[in-house]
Amino acid sequence: MQPDLDASAKAILRQNDLGGYTIPTKGLYPYQWNWDSAFSALGIATYDMNRAWQEIETLFEGQWIDGMVPHIVFRKNDPDYFPGPTVWGASVSPPTSGISQPPVVATVLRALWEGTDRSAYRQRLHRLFPKIMHWHRWFHTYRDPDDLGVIATVHPWETGRDNSAEWDQALAAVDVSGIEAYERRDTGHVDPSMRPHAIEYDRYLGLVKFCRDINWDPEKVARECPFFVADVGLTMILLRADRDLLWMAVELGEHDAVAEISGWISAAEQGVTRLWNDDLGAYTALDLRSGQRIDHITSSTFLAWYAGVGNGEKGDRLLDHLERFWTRAPYGVPSLDPDDARFDSIRYWLGPVWLVVNYMIACGLFEQGQQDVGERIRMNSRELVKRAGFYESFCPVTGKGCGGGDFSWSAAMWLAWATPGGLKAVA
């Protein structure tokens, strides 16, 4: 069965390849998504390294002059997707959304470069390096304007975890009175019980309108947006990405960048302590507008190991949570604590397992010496694909596939990480 899954995964990535960039899946997500492209590149690299690098290079064609790399690049008009470029109202070419997404690119590029003949791709990395620096600098400037050492978000979509319970209390403050009537398209592609609720979507669009009305000015957005939440996921992923960017700076001889990146890492290692919730024994989000701590444990909590923090006593408490999760949800790592009142095993980020998050958590566990736990997550991920196929996400209780099918990043995670064949990146 496994060779067939390898072939199917490659076929999915190829069918979702629209010529230099890969869409997540047809219909539901018809454009180029930021972190989807990065993770897809890991899978593509197992059979076409040149094409994997191209995936990252095309993503940066959408980079804004201020450094932001948007979460969607609208490379063609697809009326079957909402909200499209006119709703975002960003005056850029190619058209894009106005927010970013978790910056996994530096970490992916390090993996690609280490997985091939470095000399063959050195110049391409040299060309990408300043663009990634510019993007990371944008995060540290406009998503941490008070130098707290944590990364905030102005929109749930920016975190990649759209309807996570973490955002509920902050979203309640968002004005939705001015949004125009709209028709959702996502619920026409997949079961509505697997998607965010209508009121959440109203608030998502209320935030887009707010930021569009101030012309996506990054400083104004950071200071005035009603939604500004320090996110565990963004903070941990950027800290990890900064570590990998520092490694690249040293390897490339980018001496001027070394001090700047080192400063970011030092600030984050101190700042991340602000997100430690001692009452829960976990890293949790913090509403920076109200100052209130957000008491929800999610799969992003376990990205601490991926970021190189959360060891010792904190690590022990995190491991205890993982074991508790598995007593209720045996497949993978659910996106929300199964004991949480909001837990829903099939509704997007309120419970389902996401292979890319499993991958990051497991990578961190392996690096921190927790081989058995990391391997358990990998084996669970493998079993999900064998049971259900290459879905967007999976029910952690039954193993059922959720969301879109023939999904690029799930296929990529199979090829790059979960397959029993242990495929490696090739030149």
Q: Which of 78, 162, 202, 383 is catalytic?
A: 162
Q: Which of 17, 144, 242, 392 is catalytic?
A: 392
Report in angstroms the alpha-carbon separations of 344 from 163, 335, 419: 11, 10, 28
Please check the confidence at residue 424 and state whether its pLDDT lies above 70: no
Please check the confidence at residue 304 and state whether its pLDDT lies above 80: yes
Q: What is the mean pLDDT of the chain?
A: 94
**What confidence score (pLDDT) does residue 423 get?**
53
Please check the confidence at residue 388 and state whether its pLDDT lies above 90: yes
Task: Name the band, by pLDDT with cuts 50, 70 and 90, for residue 425.
Answer: very low
- Summarised one tens digit per residue, pLDDT across range 7-38 is 999 999 999 999 999 999 998 889 999 999 99
User: Would you call 269 a catalytic residue per the annotation?
Assistant: no
**What confidence score (pLDDT) does residue 332 get?**
85
**What confidence score (pLDDT) does residue 1 get?**
41
**What confidence score (pLDDT) does residue 315 get?**
96
- Looking from the CA of 379 toward its CB, the CA atoms found within 13 Å total 7
Return the ∠ at Cα 178 (arms to 176 and 181), rounded to 5°: 90
Sort strands 152-153 and 276-277 into parallel, antiparallel or unpaired.
Answer: unpaired
Q: Which residues pair with 336 in a beta bridge?
A: 298
Please check the confidence at residue 189 and state whether its pLDDT lies above 90: no
**What confidence score (pLDDT) does residue 427 get?**
32
How far apart are the C-alpha atoms of 64 and 212, rounded to whole Å?
Answer: 15
How far apart are the C-alpha atoms of 126 and 138, rounded to whole Å?
Answer: 19
129 three-state secondary structure: helix
User: Would you call 175 a catalytic residue per the annotation?
Assistant: no
**What confidence score (pLDDT) does residue 240 get?**
98
How far apart are the C-alpha atoms of 19 and 2, rounded to whole Å?
Answer: 28
Q: Which residues pair with 153 in a beta bridge?
A: 229
- Summarised one tens digit per residue, pLDDT across range 198-237 is 889 999 999 999 999 999 999 999 999 999 999 999 999 9
pTM over 0.75: yes
